Every structure is written in structure tokens, then in C-alpha cells.
A and B are shown apart, each in its own frame.
Chain A
């Protein structure tokens, strides 16, 4: 048996895979001691299986855990007091960053403070050059004096980032030895070892974030593992990484930065699975709609996309992680996003969110600004008496009056049209996020299946699909726990890199091929250690560019070799093709350079885990309700119960399909079918003329 637990801000999601059966559970997150929430969720699963907790835990071979622990520590400013050691002359890497602002005349927010204050930044007399040459040797006596000063500053962790340590790590390594000797017990991170990437700000930022997380993540992982073991767990504990893989808990403790974006990283893996299974497509747009944000990822030809540019917080205002992460585009649009009108009368939705507390107006917890959820209540999408399976009652009248007063009246719209307008703006923001990750990559979004995950996905999945021209939408049964579901599908992965700089005009065949051999050996060693040498897959990537470009594109090496002119000719041709696909142009005159070679080894962990429908008894239909659709007006829609639908059953819109964790709106003209895996496969239908023209006068009701 295998478990995945995903600790989120509000809920701890648990997915249990037992043979072919997959079951989901939710317990409240307990922020002060997350292990309590995890054990509570496991308790629910054990009870469901009619077993004692210890007995149940004892039969778990693999426990995969995703947590927002690290990101929360950063957001709440409770990371370790961390110092930065840098090359003399460059103490302001974290202050000056790489520049850039998004809105030139918006001076309402201040310049971001550096991740580590200047007062805790120490300059080390040394310098390495761009070719790896030692320009000024590290002055050991002066450095020891610096470390003694540092010892007096109550520092709990240390980040080291020296210029060009990626070309020659000798000074960072020497510093590491001095730290071991003079400040034993204080954890530290060396930038070249953590993240051997060009551009000092990114490397320094990686090291700083990582070091600041070490004390608390080590403590958290030790405590969690101890508690699980005490309760009877004897299996292997793995942690989810930001790049969509899993690693052993000990490895995560050594480089905890890998956990910070692990939250949204798993949903695309589950999304890819359901797109193939229920949508018959290798291309998918996987969306995870939460309360405050809409996270989207493009899965292309079955591959999960990865980006190096991940920020904590907003681009330019937050801190870059400098690390690859699953390329998830987030916009501040979710169920809790607030609708508001600016001074000129223009309607906006988000990025402000009412969050879980006070939450939307209809929660009755003091929220006064209308949200997307309130609009859904007004439109009849959400049944105020059957929210979260009836666990929470909603105040529909409060939603209506908030929208009437704050949106409908200033826009001189009727309250339903105002609610529909909120949905339209929220939908467009989501569409924009999808277009940026598709069109920007030269992909036509119409060629992809839209997979809707997260509690609020179904509310406008059809509207988004129509706007994009998608032909198919898949809403998995486990959609509301998509991340935890994804964790159970992920593989044990590792990535190794070698800096190889050469160009197509005088290619260094020997060096490149030797580097590939070494990478292959490291991958095989990793697979060996994890006992899956047989099934392991190794993929080789060249980071390439035209000479004098400074941003690389990833090109897959066709057969993992660069030893002959033919190999290099293939690489060059593939680079031209990728460049043209992404940026609309190719430059046949230019030399193609490679900067880095990477190898990614994937050891499959999956056992069975086929989704087998767990079907409820009873009627799938629970009556009719008036639901408002823009351009059509109020119509009577069938209300259906997802869990009670038979596989192969087909339904036509207008209809509202409800389940314990989510609601799916099937617009008029759309149709849906329950698949064998329990997903809902939706044909969205075309964007109707009445909708694009909007507000026809044929409104009913």
C-alpha cells in the first residue's frame, strides 16, 4: 500500500493507493504541528479500512509527502537568521538583483529588501575569473577573521556565493572547510554545489533561501519521520520536489529549497495521466483552481515543462529561487478572488482574495466584498445548501446584495448580468494565463485537452474551454486532491549537469562526449542505488543558443551522444527547429553554442494504481434548479450527482454536476460522459454567437 499526503494551507489531502483502488481523504491542516493533521487523515483512512492505525501504517511501503512548510516559513518570516559570504566588492548581489519592474509608474510599493540584510553580509578577499582562473587567491587569515566576527552575530545558518564558483569551486570549497573548522554545527550552503548556474544573483539567492531553511526543515523532517515510525510506519519516506519528482527525506533535508514550490508541482503529473487516460491526448493544459490562485501548466507531448525562473512572490518584487521548477503559471484568480470597480468604472477580479478567512460574503464570516464564489451562488452554479457536500451552509442573499450594491449598481447591470460579468473577467484572466504558456511556446491551445483540478475548477472550465477553442475537458474524480494524486504517480528522479562550453564552428567532440559518459555513469549509479537499474530512463539535454545569445533553449539529444559530426549536425538542426517553434525565427547564419549538458534519470516508482471507479449507489439525478447563463438568461438545469453516475453515462447541458468536493457547470450546448476511471469527460461545444455578442434580449425568467 502507498500513501501520499499533501499538506496545504487549509486541508491536508491524503490519497491511499491499495492495489487498483485509489481513495481520497481530507483533514484540517494543523499549522502549529502539521504531523497531527497528517496522522488524523491517516486515521480516517485506517478507520475506513476498518483497521487500527498502527496496523494500517505498518502495511505502508511508501509514504510520499508534500508540504508548504518551507514556503510558509518564508512568507511568515520565521526562517533562520542567515549570513551571506560573498566575493569582495560584490556585497549587494541580493540588493541590486537584476533590476526590472512591471509597472513603471506604480510607486505604491517599496523597493524589496534583500533576502539577507547587508548587515549580515560579509566580503571575502578572493576572486576567480570567468575562465575559472584564480585571479586573487583566497586570503585565509583575513577570512578566518571574518568568520570570528560572524560568530558574534548570532548567525544560525550561512550561505556562500562567490563569483565564478561554477567555473572553479576551489574557493567555495576552501570556505566550506574553514566553516567546518571554525563554526562547527552551523549549517551552510555552497552555491556551486547547490545550484551551478550562471548569473550570480540567481545563485546567491538560491543559496540564501536554501541556507535559511536548513535548520527548520531538518527539524521538521526528523520530527515527522520519528512520529510516523513511532506510530508504526516502517516504509520509505519520500518528499515531493519543486521540479515534480520525489527524493528521500534525508536528501530534502540537505537541500530544502527543493521543497518550496512542491505544492503546485504534482497536479500536472496527475493531469498528464488523466489527459492520456480520459482525453486520449499527449497535450494537456492542467489547471488547478484554488481559493486564491489559478495555477496552469502545459503538458506537451507528455512532458512536464520546467522553468528556471521561479520567484517567491511576484516577479521583480520577490526573490528568485534560481531553480528549475515545474513551469506553473499562477494568476490571482480563484474562488475567493474579489471583484471590484476602479475609479474609472472598469471591473476587475483579483488579485486580492478573501482567502479562507473571512472568505466570500456567502460564508457569513464577515467578508463584505463579493468574490467569484459569490457570483457562482448568484448564478445558481453553487447550491448554497450543498457546499462541500452539505458541510457548510452558504448565505445566498448576502452574496446577492453584495454584488447588487458593489458591482451591479455602479455598472448599471442587473444582478445576474453583474455576476456573469465577474465570471467573464475571471475566465479571461485564466485564459490569458493559459495563452501565455501555450501561444508563447508556439502551441495552439486548441490542440490540448483541458484538465480541471482543484475545488473550483468545474465552475468555469467549460467557459474557459470555449474561449480557448478546446475540444475536450477532463475533470478527474480525484480532481479536488489532484496534487496528492500526482504525488503517487511521480517517479524518483535526479538530474546531473556538466558545464561544457563549445560551438558548432569548432566543436569539442571529445570533451562533450566524455561529459555525456560521465553523466550517464552518474545516472546509472543513482538508478543502481535505488534498485531500479533495469527500468531507469535517462534523458540527455543540451542547453543551446546562437552565439552571443545569453538565454538557452533545451534541446534533447536524439541518442545521447555528441562524438561525431553527424551528432552535432542533428543537434544544430534540432536547435534551429526549436528556436523557430518558440520564437518564430531561425538564424541559419549563426553559430550554435552549447553551454551545459544535463542528464535526467527517472526511476519509475509506480505500482498498480489504476484508477478504479468507486461508485456510490442511488440516483444520479437530484432534480432541477434555475441557473443563469450569460446571453441566454435563467434556464432550468438538471442537478446531477457525480459519484452516482454510471460509467459511459452521457449528459447534456444545461446541467450542474455536484460531488463532495466540487461542482461542475455544464453550459447549454455542452455534453459530458462519465469515463471508466471515474472522470468526467466534457465536450464544451462552440462559443455561441449569443455569448460572444452577449446580452441578447431573449432572457428568460
Chain B
């Protein structure tokens, strides 16, 4: 038999598809490695808070490999459209800097380097995009996350809507000079910029090689097939879901500004239609843009919704424009979770409300059936995820500014297991790295006194959330300015399907005399030598009732100091004898008691907040210091 017959029946070249997919992911990994190894700020070279991706010439997200979901699932496609709008005839050798929240970017704190990939005939075939969270962007305060900015003017960032920064592979010095004049510690910005250019050029080089070797027509065929394949995977997954429409809620903590002093109530309606193989997520019934930095961008409103969906389904589906076609996210203009209108500030658009939004979607999907969805991840950002600035006495008082990323944990319980301990944000699915104490202390004049998990802070559940992290740090022989914006000091990470909430975030500081005082949720603190910040992050929510947790998992937690013996009995219903072994009969009785009084997970609001304070028993500021003796010991 001639195999040619089967080839004609075959609508899609499955072999070429698998081969090319491996190759394209290889291209993005090469880009990623370049920036990680060359960057100057710890936010990039240690925390890896950046992403690389390839967008097609038709503005479709194609491949993102190990990138942070919040950076890339939706957004680069919109940026590609705006690039075409502003620069209809891009040429090889050009590169563009972009960070405009009104033109598809995630938030102003993420600088993008956008390189159109142009074939030998001068035709654009794809776009390589590198997006990185910068240590500084020239804001009015030395941080890129400003919850309290009332608008983009107060935020103060330089905004670049697809501005040309390279021509013929050479810098456009005018633009570089602007950045060097307005961004703090400009040499470090330039070093990070060089690394981003390197990463984008590596992507360009590799894509041109693909075009040369397989031909651009074959590349275009691959693109169409891969996106169709991804869409089919998504539709096949949705086909298996139960039908229905449900609404979920959450509340983002208050910000000390007029109009936001009661917090931000959020409401999301999720409709699953297995017949049309589509999910629709309606975000339109939410407050208008608020006079603070919490507004989401178009990119992050769509992306957070999709993150909630991807977290909720067991089958890994490729994340690209293809799979995105089966999920409709309904947005409106001038909405806190929609399309922001200039000059609304979107400074925090990748964390605060974005985290809450993904959490609502995954908890709402969990309500459709056991085995679906996920609890909420611990809200962001505790005071160990902060803008740090000051002068370094070890280097002739040279100024520094950086984003510290150390203290977040908060992974949520899900139908298949416990919360990921170093999850950090829902938005990055744990793919970000965390700073090393020694690297931080080497690069900045600070000392990290403590870095540990806190027992009994997990959202209890059949699968529990990750525990809080306790981080204590302070300056060495200098002053240290710390800026942070913490959600989750009032409203906890919610559990689902009978799972409990995680512990609340607790910002505090230890004074030079050892006294511990609570700090505000949103603060700009200047620490003197001898003073420290104490950062306790939010615990993640639990999935399913705690009394259904497998006894061997409970035993692991108690043996390794994650959960106290008392909590093991009270919350998980596992009773231990004197020798630490399980008292089977007492456990059966206690678990039956818990089952009889079991209730749904609390909905958002006062009830949940009260539960979080009650079940974790950490209401007293004095206990904060017990975990670590701090510098005075």
C-alpha cells in the first residue's frame, strides 16, 4: 500500500506538529536562559520575574514555555496588534520598548522588548517578546507596585506605547537617554535592558533559522495546526465538564484612599456549556475603575480568568490563542476588572485583584463538582515582597533600588494534592524563583534573620493550603526604605468545598529595643539599623473537608512540624496517643463529630475573616516574636 493515500486523508501532519512544538519551546527556553543569566536586578537574575514568548504575525500567542502565566497568556497578542497599528512597516534590526497598560501590557512595571521577526523579503513572520518586571521604572516612589497611586500621573512611571529603541541593531540613544535620566540606578536598568535585548535577539535569530530550514509556509501551516490542536484539546476538556452557571465572590482588602476604604467587592459569573464546548466568564458586573493602583489591565483581567480555568482542569492544555478561543471573557471599559481608561492607575494589575479574580474563578468551578477547581491562593504581597531602596555603605554609599521576592508561599489545596509551598502568586503558578538569603545579603546591605514556615497557618482541608512564611529582615549599618502593599490582612485566602481559609497576612516590625509593633497593610517604612520588618504571608485555602484528609498525610504534617497535635485533633479529627501513634477509635469518633457539624466553606466577607482569625489562633501580636529571636538575641 502506498502511504501517500493515508497522507491525503490526514488533515494534519501530527509528526511535524510534535517536532516543531519541541523546537519552538526550545527557542523560548533559550531566550529565558539568556536574560536569567545576564540580568542585574535580583528580581530578574534570582526571582526570574520575567517571561519570553513568540507571537505570530497574525497576533496569536504561539508559545510561552516556562514563562509566568500572568505575563503572557493574554497581552502579548494585544501588544502585537498595537505594534502593527503604530508601526505598520517594521524592519529587521528594530526593537521596541513597551509598557503601556492601555495598550495590552500587564502593568507599567513590566518593560517589554518587542522584536518583529522579518524574513529576507522584508515580511514580518512573527514577534519575539521579552517581558520583565523591572527593579524601577521611574515611579514617584521607589517601587513598581503602588496601590496608593490615584492615577497614572501620581504613579509617575514613564509610559512607552511601542516606542522604537533599536534601529539596525543599534540603540536609539534618545530613548535610552530618557530612561537613564528618569529611572533610579540607571546603570542597572541599562544592564537589565541589555539582557532583554540579548534574549529577544536570540529568539529572533532562532526563528529566522526555523524559517530558513523549514520554510515560512511550513511554519505558517504549523502555527495554524498547533492553534487548532490546542483549541480542540480545550474544547474536549470542556465537553467533559458539568453544565451550569454559577456566581462567585471575593473582597480585596481596603486601601486607605477615598472610594476604596471598604475594600473592593468582586463578582464573577462562570457559565460552562459542554454542548458548545465553551466557558464564558462575565466580569462586567463590577465597580468602575477606582482611584488607586489596583485596577486590572485588559491583559491581566483576561489572563487571571484563564489562569483560574487552567488551574481547575486536570488535563494540561497548551496555553495559547488556540485554547483561549474556547473561553470567552466578557469585559467592559472603565471597570476595575476590565479595560482601564487613561489615566486610571494599573500599578498593581499583576497581583492584588488579579490574584483574587483567579481565585474566584477556580473556587466557582470547584462548586460544579468534586474533582474540579482549586481553593484560593494566599493574597499578595506580604512585606517580604517589597520595593527596597537605600544606599550601600559597603560600596561608597552607592544608591540601590530592587524588588525583593522572598516571603510568599500560599499555594492552594486542589483535588489532587496540597498547596505548592513556594507557589507565590496564582499568577505565576509557582514558576518564579525565590531569593537566596546569601545573594540578597551580598547584593544589598540587608540581613535576613529568619526564613521559615509557620505551623498551623495552612487552610485546612482534605488537601490543605500551603502554610504562611515568616521572614524577618532589616538593614545593616544603614537606613533601608521598604515599600509594600499587602492584601490579605483582613480577607483571607478562601477554602472551597468545605475546606478552610488560610491564615491572614501579618505585617509587623521589631524596634531596636525588641518591641514588636503591627504595621499597616500598605506602608512606606524607613528602617534604622537594628530595626527589622516581620513579614508573615497569607496561608493558602484548603480543598474539601479537613476530616477527610488521609490519616497518613496528617501524620506527616504533625511529625514534621507543620501542624500542632492540638490542631490535628480539633480540625483534622486525628487523635494521637502518648507515643504519637493514631488512636483509631478516638479518631473515628472525632471524625464522625466533625462530619456531623461540617459546613460549606465560608463565602467572602466578615464571616470568612472571622473564621481565619479564629481557627489560626494568631490574633496576638506578641506571638509574632516567638518564632524567631531576631537581631537582639
Contacts and interface: CB of A to CB of B under 8 A. Distances in A.
Interface of A: 88-93, 95-111, 117-119, 125, 129-131, 135-136, 163-164, 198-201, 342-348, 411-414, 416-417, 421, 424-425, 428-429, 432, 435-436, 439-440, 546-551, 579, 582-585, 587, 589-590, 633, 692, 694-697, 699
Given A549-B40, A699-B2, A699-B3, 17 more contacts: A95-B453, A99-B47, A101-B420, A105-B319, A107-B314, A110-B417, A111-B421, A129-B447, A199-B436, A346-B14, A347-B18, A348-B18, A412-B6, A428-B23, A550-B46, A579-B38, A695-B7
B430 A104 contact: yes
B442 interface: yes
16 contacts: A89-B628, A89-B629, A96-B422, A96-B451, A99-B422, A99-B432, A101-B431, A104-B429, A130-B438, A164-B441, A199-B438, A345-B14, A345-B229, A416-B3, A548-B443, A694-B16
Contact of B4 (A125, A436, A546, A699): A699
A111 B418 contact: yes
Contact of A90 (B68, B416, B442, B451): B451
A49 to B, nearest CB: 48
A424 B19 contact: yes
Interface stretch (B185-193, B257-265, B491-499, B583-591): B185-193
The 10 lowest CB-CB distance pairs between A and B, nearest first, are A104-B429, A697-B4, A89-B450, A548-B40, A99-B434, A585-B198, A130-B441, A344-B233, A428-B19, A695-B7
Contacts of B451: 89-90, 92-93, 96
B26 A696 contact: no
Contact of A429 (B22, B30, B562): B22
Given A439-B206, A548-B443, A695-B4, A91 B36 contact: no
Among A344, A579, A583, which residue has the most Cβ atoms of chain B within 10 A? A344
Nearest to B73: A104
Given A347-B15, A413-B10, A107 B414 contact: yes
A450 to B, nearest CB: 18
B320 interface: no
Nearest to B455: A118
A432 B28 CA distance: 12
Contacts of A417: 3, 6
Given A102-B431, A584-B201, A163 B438 contact: yes
B337 to A, nearest CB: 21
Contact of B316 (A93, A103, A432, A435): A103
Nearest to A106: B316
B416 A692 contact: no
A699 to B, nearest CB: 5
A104 B448 CA distance: 28
A131 B394 CA distance: 10
A90 B443 contact: no
B123 interface: no
B39 A100 contact: no
B200 to A, nearest CB: 9
B429 A414 contact: no
Interface string B1-37: 1111011011001111111001100100110011011
Contacts of B2: 697, 699
A347 B17 CA distance: 9
B476 A129 contact: yes
A344 B229 contact: yes
A421 B12 CA distance: 13
B381 interface: no
A103 B430 CA distance: 9
Contact of A548 (B9, B191, B429): B191
Given A119-B561, A425-B19, A589 B190 contact: yes
Interface of B: 1-4, 6-7, 9-10, 13-19, 22-23, 26, 29-30, 33-34, 36-42, 45-48, 66, 68-69, 187-188, 190-191, 194-195, 197-198, 201-202, 205-206, 214, 229, 232-233, 236-237, 310-311, 314-316, 319, 374, 394, 411, 414, 416-418, 420-422, 424, 428-434, 436-439, 441-443, 447-453, 466, 469, 472, 476, 559-562, 628-629, 633
A436 B18 contact: no
B3 A135 contact: no
A413 B12 CA distance: 12
Contacts of A89: 448-452, 472, 628-629
Contacts of B19: 424-425, 428
Contacts of A589: 187, 190
Contacts of A425: 15, 18-19
Among B9, B40, B47, B414, which residue has the most Cβ atoms of chain A within 10 A? B40
A590 B193 CA distance: 13
Contacts, number: 247
A546 to B, nearest CB: 6
A696 B4 CA distance: 6
A548 B41 contact: yes
B442 A200 contact: no
Nearest to B556: A113
B69 A104 contact: yes
Contacts of B233: 342-344
A701 B524 CA distance: 78
A317 B202 CA distance: 28
A347 B16 CA distance: 10
B443 A118 contact: no
Contacts of B561: 118-119
A333 to B, nearest CB: 11
A583 B38 contact: yes
B66 to A, nearest CB: 6
A259 to B, nearest CB: 27
A694 B13 contact: yes
Contacts of B447: 129-130, 135
Nearest to A166: B438
Given A118-B560, A412-B6, A413-B3, A96 B198 contact: no
Contacts of B190: 587, 589
B15 to A, nearest CB: 5
A440 B437 CA distance: 29
Given A416-B3, A428-B22, A585-B198, A90 B450 contact: yes
Among B18, B45, B315, which residue has the most Cβ atoms of chain A within 10 A? B18
A163 B188 contact: no
A95 B443 contact: no
Among B1, B6, B41, B47, which residue has the most Cβ atoms of chain A within 10 A? B6
Contacts of A91: 452
Contacts of A695: 3-4, 6-7
A104 B449 CA distance: 30
B500 to A, nearest CB: 19
B581 to A, nearest CB: 15
A92 B454 CA distance: 11
Contact of A590 (B26, B191, B232): B191
A681 to B, nearest CB: 25
Nearest to A428: B19
B228 to A, nearest CB: 10
Given A424-B19, A584-B198, A585-B198, A550 B3 contact: no
Contacts of A342: 233
Among B237, B311, B418, B430, which residue has the most Cβ atoms of chain A within 10 A? B430
Among A90, A108, A198, A695, which residue has the most Cβ atoms of chain B within 10 A? A695
Nearest to B318: A344
Given A98-B436, A125-B633, A117 B560 contact: yes
A587 to B, nearest CB: 5
A583 B37 contact: yes
Contacts of A428: 18-19, 22-23
Contacts of A198: 436, 438-439, 442
B249 to A, nearest CB: 24
Nearest to B12: A345
A105 B236 CA distance: 17
Contacts of A579: 38
Contacts of B314: 107-108
Given A96-B434, A346-B14, A424-B19, A432 B26 contact: yes
